[in-house]
C-alpha cells in the first residue's frame, strides 16, 4: 500500500528545483504556435495548503520556496517560477498555497494544449478527479500506474510532448522502472522531452540511475538522443546514511537553451537553499 503523500514535502528544496525547470520546459514548448501535450505520470495534488496538517508537520517549505519568497532580485528562471507560485497567493506578503505540478502545467498550458494526469494513490486520484469534475477540456485524469499508462499515451496526437516522470521512490522498484519506461517511451516517441526527478540519497540504485538513463539515450532505436543531468545538493549526507541531501533532474531531449539557463540559475539555488558548506550543484549534458 502506498503511504507517500507529497503534501508533507510541498515547496521543499526538491520541489523548487523540479518546478523551476518544469516551468522553463513548459515555457519552451509554448513558444511554438503548435499545440503540445504534457503528461504527468506521478501527478500528486493540484494545490497544497502550507497551513494544512500535512505541510505544517515538518514545514519543509521553510527551507525551500520560503527562502526565495521575498528576494528582491532573482535570475529569470527562478523569477518566473516564483511568479507562478505568487499567482496562487493574491496576498503576496504571505505564502499560503503552493502549486503541485498539475497546477503549474494548467497555468502555463494554452487552450489548445492537453494535460494528462496519472496517479496511483486512490485518495490522490479521487481528489484529482473531483477537482476536474466540472470539466477543463484540456485535462484527463487516469487512476493507475504511471509507468504503464504513459506508454499507452505515446505518441501523442500533437507529436509534441513534455513527460514529467516524478516517482516518490517509495517502492524500490521505481529505480528500475524509470529507465525501463524511458527506454520504452523512446521507442514509441523518440522526440518527446522527458523529465525525470530523482532524490540524492545514499543508495546504490540511486547512484546508478543517471548512468542507466544515459544508456537509454545512447541506445535509442532512432539514434542517440540528447540529455541533461542537473543536481542540487543542499547539505552533507548524514553519517547514518539515511535521509535526502538533495535531488536531481535527468532530461531527455532538453532544449538547447537549458544548459546556459541552468549555469545562471544553479549558483543562486546553492546560495539560497544550501544548508551547510557542502552545498553544491552539478551540470552535465550531451547536446548535439
Tell me the catalytic residues: 166
ω into 204 cis (within 30 of 0) = no
Closer to ligand SAM by CB, 42 or 97: give it: 42
Considering only 2-10, 55-63, 76-84, 252-260, which stretch makes contact with ligand SAM by CB under 6 A? 2-10
CB count, 10 Å around CB of 263? 13
Closer to ligand SAM by CB, 113 or 166: give it: 166
Nearest Cα to Cα of residue 26 among 39, 15, 13: 39
Q: In angstroms, rounded to a whole number, what is the distance separating the alpha carbons of residues 251 and 213?
A: 9
Considering only 38-46, 81-89, 107-115, 255-263, which stretch makes contact with ligand SAM by CB under 6 A? 38-46
Q: In angstroms, rounded to a whole number, what is the distance separating the alpha carbons of residues 197 and 164?
A: 8
Of the residues 35, 146, 156, 192, which one makes contact with ligand SAM according to CB under 6 A: 146
Q: Are 251 and 211 in contact (CB under 8 A)?
A: no
Q: In angstroms, rounded to a whole number, what is the distance separating the alpha carbons of residues 283 and 15?
A: 18
Of the residues 44, 210, 246, 255, which one makes contact with ligand SAM according to CB under 6 A: 44
Q: Does the footprint of ligand SAM cover residue 147 (CB under 6 A)?
A: yes
**Which element (helix H / strand E) includes 163?**
strand 161-165
Q: Does the footprint of ligand SAM cover residue 97 (CB under 6 A)?
A: no
Q: Does the footprint of ligand SAM cover residue 42 (CB under 6 A)?
A: yes
Q: Does the footprint of ligand SAM cover residue 118 (CB under 6 A)?
A: yes
Within 191-210, the residues that bind ligand SAM by CB under 6 A are none
Amino acid at each position: 500500500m502506498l503511504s507517500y503523500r507529497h503534501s508533507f514535502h510541498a515547496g521543499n528544496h526538491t520541489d523548487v528545483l523540479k518546478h523551476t525547470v518544469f516551468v522553463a520546459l513548459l515555457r519552451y514548448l509554448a513558444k511554438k504556435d503548435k499545440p503540445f501535450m504534457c503528461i504527468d505520470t506521478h501527478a500528486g495534488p493540484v494545490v497544497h495548503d502550507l497551513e494544512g496538517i500535512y505541510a505544517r508537520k515538518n514545514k519543509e517549505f521553510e527551507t525551500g520556496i520560503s527562502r526565495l519568497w521575498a528576494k528582491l532580485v532573482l535570475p529569470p528562471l527562478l523569477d518566473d517560477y516564483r511568479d507562478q507560485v505568487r499567482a496562487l497567493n493574491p496576498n503576496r506578503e504571505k505564502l499560503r498555497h503552493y502549486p503541485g505540478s498539475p497546477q503549474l502545467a494548467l497555468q502555463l498550458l494554452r487552450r489548445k494544449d492537453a494535460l494528462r494526469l496519472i496517479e496511483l494513490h486512490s485518495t490522490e486520484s479521487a481528489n484529482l478527479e473531483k477537482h476536474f469534475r466540472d470539466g477543463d477540456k484540456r485535462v484527463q485524469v487516469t487512476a493507475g500506474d504511471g509507468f504503464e499508462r504513459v506508454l499507452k499515451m505515446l505518441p501523442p496526437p500533437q507529436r509534441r510532448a513534455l513527460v514529467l516522470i516524478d516517482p516518490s521512490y517509495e517502492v524500490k522498484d521505481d529505480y528500475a522502472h524509470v529507465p525501463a519506461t524511458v527506454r520504452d517511451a523512446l521507442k514509441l516517441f523518440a522526440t518527446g522531452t522527458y523529465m525525470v526527478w530523482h532524490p540524492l540519497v545514499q543508495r546504490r540504485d540511486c547512484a546508478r540511475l543517471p548512468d542507466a538513463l544515459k544508456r537509454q539515450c545512447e541506445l535509442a532505436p532512432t539514434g542517440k538522443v540528447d540529455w541533461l543531468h542537473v543536481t542540487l545538493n543542499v547539505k552533507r549526507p548524514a553519517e547514518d546514511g539515511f535521509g535526502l541531501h538533495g535531488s536531481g533532474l535527468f532530461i531527455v531531449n532538453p532544449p538547447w537553451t537549458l544548459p546556459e539557463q541552468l549555469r545562471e540559475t544553479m549558483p543562486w539555488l546553492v546560495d539560497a537553499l544550501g544548508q551547510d558548506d557542502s552545498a553544491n550543484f552539478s551540470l552535465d549534458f550531451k547536446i548535439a
